[in-house]
Amino acid sequence: MINIIQTKEVDIFSQLRLEEFLLKAKTDSFCIISEGRKDAIVLGISNKSNELVHINNAKKDNIQVIRRFSGGGSVFVDKDTVFVTFIFSSDLLKIDLYPETIMKWSEGFYKKVFDSEDFKLIENDFVFKDKKIAGNAQYIKKNRFLLHTSFLFDFDIKKINKYLQVPKKAPAYRNKRNHEDFITKISPYISKNEFFENLYKTLKSSFNCQQIKEIEAPQLDINYSTQIISI
């Protein structure tokens, strides 16, 4: 059984805290589905803002910078970003909880959603051909894991260039490409509505699912690592 939560009008900071709470304080399995709202920059737990963010531009435009509790790289999110997060116990999938096996399982799952030969996993990124369409962040906790994916259905490349530096450490397949040549939009391949339809169909064919109402992460139940950082 997995619990499906489709959030509405929830900012990414609140969602990341909800994910942290559900992973660390609960034992059930969840799939959280949401769309972005306001512009924000999200960094992995070990990322340094001065190496990845054009700080003066972000500060001038009052762009919120968030450090999530999970790994992964930096991402600029906005109203056209779609987030899907799996929080599963290991016995649900019956796989060893290693980053590689989790990513391999997720590649097989999303191949059914996109139904395209162009979709694949390269290193830790989802791509169409050789261009990135989504970034992934993981957290493994004993017999539970989280996989958070940010899908780039559309984006303003001017904003990405304005707020995000090209990282010095990058996957090998990036091959020193700038943002324009490295990422691509999902919208020419599949609409959001088609994506959500296929996502629900794949979930229901793979798991026993139940939809639950939106829930908010309690403020005091755990010591949250997800934080808004000052720049």
The pLDDT, as a whole number, for residue 53 is: 97
- For the chain (231 residues), the mean pLDDT of every run of 10, in chain order, is 89 94 94 94 95 97 96 94 95 91 97 96 96 97 95 97 95 96 96 97 96 81 91 80
Q: Are the CB atoms for 12 and 4 separated by under 8 Å?
A: no
pTM: 0.95
Domain membership of residue 199 as a residue range:
2-228
**Distance between CA atoms of residues 199 and 193, nearest Å:** 10
The pLDDT, as a whole number, for residue 9 is: 76
- What is the CATH classification number for the domain harbouring 165? 3.30.930.10
Task: Give all strands of the β-sheet with 64-67 in edge-to-edge order.
Answer: 75-77, 40-43, 64-67, 227-228
The pLDDT, as a whole number, for residue 8 is: 75
The pLDDT, as a whole number, for residue 34 is: 94
**Count of other CB atoms within 10 angstroms of residue 133:** 22
Q: How many structural domains compose the chain?
A: 1
The pLDDT, as a whole number, for residue 213 is: 83
